[in-house]
Amino acid sequence: MDELSRRKMLMITGGALGALGMTTPAQAQSHWTWPASGSVAGAGAGADPRWVWDEEADPLLASILDRGDVPRVNTLLRTWTRNDQPLPAGLPEDLRAFMERARQLPAWADRAKLDRVGDFIKAKGTYLILVYGLGGGMMSTAIPAEARAVYHSKGGADMKDRIAKTTKFGVDAHALNAYQPDGDAIVSSVKTRLVHAAVRHLLPQSPHWPHTGGQIPISQNDMLVTWHTLPTLVMRKLTDWRVRVSAAESAAYLHLWQVNAHMLGIRDEYVPATWEAAYAQSAQVLDPVLAPTPEGISLADTLLDMASEATGPGQPVTRALLNSLTRYLLGDRVSDWIEIPREPVWDPLVHNGLPLWVRVREGFITWPLAPPISWTLDELIRKLMLFYLGEAKPISIEIPDTNRPG
């Protein structure tokens, strides 16, 4: 679709009206009151991020798709794996110029904080796997815009491959050398930015897309929503569980995700500068959008089946435990929406045992007093970690050139 058609689509969906601040459809009225003074930029135009996408990457990827260049670009980009590596020769000139800009860290990136975050990740890795995998990952299925985008895009037909690619980004961004010259996080985030821009061009062409509202997907607002299912949810859970996190660790972890956000193409004026600003933004953008969709229910079931297959093939007990952990992390309302089955045996065990298990891990109570579920949780998370890390390695994040077939 050319740029004019995209604008027409916006007009149809009310997006242009919203962008112009005109008052007609209820959905076009701005709900955006989060102040840019709370962002890493410290100031901004205050545009409602529901009507902002990625103005640099989107027209570029639309053009690359329309020119039929995606297979050639993917082949070339497979060889680009390290932050300090020059871009492969032979890339289209407009793409190369964009990627040279996009691979630069923001001026406000703080090397000391990025170096320090490794200690936090090593110390809290167990909780991170649990909350990213069964918290954020499952919550994304209760975010209608994301569930529909994931389901109807190319990767929706092969969730195993999609998880492997998403995990690749997660592993690269959490590696000790993530943003060092020999790390991979810049590569993975710039590639992901390209993927998202391609999806913005492709999905509106899907025959299923008009039924889902028709708007151009992956707005800046959508990106922020997902961002809050990741670091914000992690920090909220660690706080709820009274896990010891020093001020320096907390600041470093936030900083990692601020840099991730920038590198994924989120505008600095929307990236929270503090945890307080993040919680306030999360309450505004994430909490009100959670809702069930047929796509989300289907994805939730697929994801839990896959995790269950990876951690205890053929054992019904693993799926039941994963159901309970998901329910514990997301709460009853969201879990019921995405149709996580209730587990009469495991639900109370997890509900009572998980907080105690955290107390044991944190050294507040000794092993003899550990709840019976402790060993099971340790073992499950060890297997989840092996599954995710094992899946991550040989995969390259690639630009899609079609939607989900059929």
Residue numbers at the binding site for ligand HEM (CB under 6 A):
145-146, 149-150, 153-155, 162, 165-166, 169, 192, 195-196, 199, 217-218, 222-223, 226-227, 264, 397, 400
| Joined tokens for residue 211 | 């039924």
Task: State CA 198 to chain mean position distance.
Answer: 17
Smallest gap, in angstroms, from Cβ of residue 346 to ligand HEM? 30
Number of H helices, E strands in the chain: 18, 0
- Taking the least distance from each CB to ligand HEM, the nearer of 154 and 361 is 154
Residue 292 or 341 with smaller CB distance to ligand HEM: 292
Residue 160 · residue 263 · CB < 8 Å: no
Element (H, E) at 234: helix 233-240
Which residue, 1 or 365, is less far from ligand HEM as judged by CB?
1
Provide the minimum distance between the beta carbon of 220 and ligand HEM in the complex, in angstroms, as a whole number.
Answer: 9
Q: Is the dihedral of CA 281, 124, 126, 390 positive or negative?
A: positive
Both tokens of 41, joined, read: 């930029």
Q: How many Cβ atoms are within 10 Å of 372's Cβ, its own excluded?
A: 9
Provide, rounded to whole angstroms, the least separation between the CB of residue 213 and ligand HEM.
12
Q: How far apart are CA 129 and CA 243, in angstroms?
A: 15
Tokens of 316: 């019904």
HSE (side-chain half, CA atoms, 13 Å) at 114? 20
- Report the distance separating Cα 340 and Cα 316, nearest Å: 14
User: Which CB, 192 or 335, lies closer to ligand HEM?
Assistant: 192
Handedness of CA 383, 388, 392, 396 (dihedral sign): positive
Nearer to ligand HEM, 199 or 322 (CB): 199
Distance CA 270, CA 138 (A): 24
User: 170, 126, 154, 123: which is closest to 389 by C-alpha?
Assistant: 170
Query: In the complex with ligand HEM, which residue's Cβ is closer, 223 or 235?
Result: 223
**Residue number closest to ligand HEM, CB atom:** 155
CB 359 → ligand HEM: shortest distance, Å? 31
**Min separation Cβ 39 and ligand HEM, Å:** 16
Residue 330: CB partners within 8 Å, gap ≥ 6? 135, 138, 139, 142, 338, 340
Of 184 and 222, the one with the shorter C-beta distance to ligand HEM is: 222
272: helix, coil or strand? Answer: strand
Cβ 406 to ligand HEM, closest distance in Å? 14
* Closer residue to ligand HEM in complex, CB, 51/346: 51
Tell me the closest approach of the beta carbon of residue 128 to ligand HEM, in angstroms: 14
**Shortest CB 28 distance to ligand HEM, Å:** 19
- Nearer to ligand HEM by Cβ, of 298 and 312: the residue is 298
CB of 274 to ligand HEM, least distance (A): 18
